[in-house]
Each structure stands twice: as structure tokens, then as C-alpha cells.
Amino acid sequence: MSTAGLARTRVRRADIVAAALELFADKGYLATTMDDIGRAVNVRGPSLYKHVTSKQDLLVEIMESSMATVLRDHAVAVGSTDDVADQLRRAVEAHVRFHARHRLEAFVGTRELRHLSDGNRAAMAARRRDYERGFRVLVERGVAEDRFRVGSVRLTTYSLLDMGVGVSVWFREGEEFSVDEVAYRYGDLAMRLVGAA
Amino acid sequence: MSTAGLARTRVRRADIVAAALELFADKGYLATTMDDIGRAVNVRGPSLYKHVTSKQDLLVEIMESSMATVLRDHAVAVGSTDDVADQLRRAVEAHVRFHARHRLEAFVGTRELRHLSDGNRAAMAARRRDYERGFRVLVERGVAEDRFRVGSVRLTTYSLLDMGVGVSVWFREGEEFSVDEVAYRYGDLAMRLVGAA
DNA sequence: CCTACCGATCGGTAGG
DNA sequence: CCTACCGATCGGTAGG
């Protein structure tokens, strides 16, 4: 009776993080309880503390690992060519691909920034600014090299970034567009925005 | 001693809503307590219930009044001309103006949607979809009338909307751009996106 | 408009 | 991995 052999008995840390991600995205960090997360992996809330030191830790892990992913993808995209227009196009494609593939991480990343502890938030905010600077630098160089024509580097950069971030809100795998299709189309839109089309 | 004549004694409902708006934007709805709001208007938390029926009510009031504002501005913009390109341009300008002028309302409006009670959330979500449909219809008509050339009506519409929403995140009165400047520039960007420039 | 307070929730710890 | 539980917080009410 007691060992009825329900579902998974063994809880891995990765399962906990995955469950937390989904709950944070759905209900928000503050509204998600350790019991909620436990329930999603078939244990009681307190049992989670064998694998995790705090709820905050889960948020930090989610944010840091996804930030590492975008930064790496961005570096690869920009490093793959010397042509500014191609660099910007590929950077936008990578940006969009990330926001489509890792919707929830992206969503939580921007939505829950304020619920990181002070130290963690400062560090994450700095990395986010670095990421944004990467795009601004590309737009600036494109203008300097006479490849782009923009009204304002700053506004154009914000637009490129915000368009891509928006993808994480509506994108669903297996619907009208594939990840690649969305990436390519946003790459085209980016070229129009900078006047390089 | 007791009547040292501190600051405001009379608390108006509008002051409470304004204080709630700022706190919701800064800390988030769940993280804001009635005591926080009370402190901002120089009363104790429980005293607020003389003017307000619940914390939820404050959120509803903020969201409904700002939604009414955008919808009205949008209608005026679209109704001011018959030319699709001008209509879209003015709709985008109105959209951006709203997100610049009412940054906090816009911010709270998208960020705290999930903390509305079920009925309220459904109603607000429906009005938001109506608003978005207004833009999609304009893009569609522009394409049908051969004024716009877009890869995907849906993605282009999302881009236009998301760019404008992004303004509420970074815009600050009295910095590099005025509200009107930002609106005009985003109007130009919109024309580029739909291939009408 | 205030103090006192209820009832419920929640992160995390104790101690198996 | 669980139950019991601590300590703190919070929305809202009572009753002036």
C-alpha cells in the first residue's frame, strides 16, 4: 500500500529548476510557493531544500544560465562575419531565436529582475546593459560605414531589441511560424529599420 | 505638540491611486502592501479602506482608466484621416505618446495583468486584443491598397506594438527626447517597417 | 483616521 | 523525503 509505485521518486535538481521556471513564468516569482514547486515534482515543499538553498537561488540560476546563453549566441553571430549589415542581421536572428526557443526564461528574465536580491540584480542588470550595448555598437558602426541610415541610433537600437523581446510573449512552437522563420523575418525587419534593405 | 501641522491631512482618493501606481510600478503589485500605500499618503494602511474597497480595486482602477485613455487616443488618431499610411503613422504616434506620457500605467498594465481577479483579467485582456486588432487591420488595409509591402502582417503588427510598448521602459521626461520627438521618430520607423517609406 | 487584532499564507528549519 | 512548526508578513475588519 505504501509503496504503490506512483510516478518519479527520484527528484533531480534540473527538474526542480524546470518546474520553477514554468511556475515563475505562469504565476510570477512572488506568487509561486515552494509547495507549488514541490507539487510539480511530487515532493513536499520542505524537501526541496535538500537540493536547493532557497527560492531566490532558483530564480538566480534561471536568470544566469539563460543570460549566459544569449551572450554566447550573440558573440557567435557577430563573430561569424565582418560585414556590419550581416552582423546586425545575424545578431537580430540570434536574439529572436533565443526569445522564441527560451520564451519562459526570457519572460522571467525581464519580468522578475526586480525580485533578485540587490547584489544579484545589479550583476544581472550590468550584463543586460552589455548585451544591449552590443547592438548599439553595431548600429553605430553601420551608420559610420555608411551602410545604415537611421534617425536615432538609440531609438533604433531599442526598437530592434524590443521587437525581439516581444517574440517571447506570443511565440508558440508548432504554430504558424517555426523558430527559424521568425528569426529570418525579424532579420528582414531589422534591415528595414536601419535603412539597409 | 500633537497638531504640529505636518503635511497634507486630507487624503483624496486620487492621491491614493497615484501612490499605488508608483508603488505597483516600482515594487510590483504583490510586493506592495496597503501600509506602503498608506505611508505614501501619510495615513496607516487600514485607513485606506475608508476610500477604497480593496487593493485589487486600486489595480483595476489604474488599468481601466489607462486602457480607456489609449483606446480613445487611438480612435482619434485613426479617425483623423482616410489615408491608410497616415492612419497607421498617427496610430503609432498615439501609441508611443501614450507609452511615454503614461509610462507607469503602461508598465503596470502589462506587468500586472495576471494579478487581476479572473473576471477583471478576462475583460482587460479582451480590450487589449481589440486594441491590437486595430493595428493589424490598418496594416492589412495598407497591404490590400498596395501602400504597404510586408513579409507578414502578423509579425509586422507585433513589431509595431512592441516597439511602442518598449518606450514605457526607458522613456524619461526631460531627457534626450521630448514626447513628441519620440512619437514622430517612431512614426518614421513604423513607415519603414511596413515598407511605405 | 487610529489601534488592536483575526485568519491565512509562506519561506525556511528541526529532527527525524 | 516527511511532519511539525517557528517567525514574520499581510489584507482586511472591529470598534471606536
Q: Is A39 exposed, middle or buried (0-12, 13-18, 19+ CB in 10 A)?
A: middle
**pLDDT exceeds 90 at position B9:** no
Q: What is the CATH number of the domain that holds B20?
A: 1.10.10.60
Amino acid at position A33, single letter: T
Give the Å distances, CA to CA, from B66 to A94, B41, B89, B190: 35, 22, 21, 23
Co-location of B83 and B151 in the same domain: yes
Residue nearest to nucleotide C9 (CA to C1'): A33
Instruction: Please check whether residue A44 is in contact with residue A87, taking contact to mean a CB–CB distance below 8 angstroms.
Output: no
3-class secondary-structure state, position A134? helix
The cell for A189 is 525587419
Tell me the average pLDDT across A164-168.
98
Co-location of A75 and A163 in the same domain: yes
A24 CB within 8 Å of a chain B CB: no
Query: pLDDT tens across A172-188, in order?
Result: 999 999 999 999 999 99
Instruction: Please check whether residue A102 is in contact with residue A169, taking contact to mean a CB–CB distance below 8 angstroms.
Output: no
User: What pLDDT score does B197 carry?
Assistant: 65
Amino acid at position A175, single letter: E
User: What pLDDT score does A9 carry?
Assistant: 57
Co-location of B65 and B34 in the same domain: no
Task: Using pLDDT thresholds of 50, 70 and 90, give the confidence band for residue A2.
Answer: very low
Co-location of A44 and A134 in the same domain: no
User: What pLDDT score does A125 carry?
Assistant: 96
User: What pLDDT score does B169 carry?
Assistant: 96
Co-location of A21 and A104 in the same domain: no
B117 beta carbon < 7 A from strand D? no
Co-location of B142 and B104 in the same domain: yes
Co-location of A64 and A159 in the same domain: yes
B160 inside domain: yes
Buried b (16+ CB within 10 A) or exposed e, B142-171: bbeeeebebebbbbbbbbbbbbbbbbbeeb
Instruction: Show which positions of strand D are touched by protein (CB under 7 A).
Output: 1-5, 9-15
B116 inside domain: yes
User: What pLDDT score does A1 carry?
Assistant: 35
- Which chain A positions have a beta carbon within 8 Å of B107's beta carbon? none
A38: containing domain: 13-50
- Residue A83 sits at φ, ψ, to 5 deg, of -80, 120
Please indicate whether, in this complex, the C-beta atoms of A192 and B192 are within 8 angstroms of each other. Answer: yes
Quick one: which of B19, B30, B32, B112 has its CA closest to B64? B112
B44 inside domain: yes
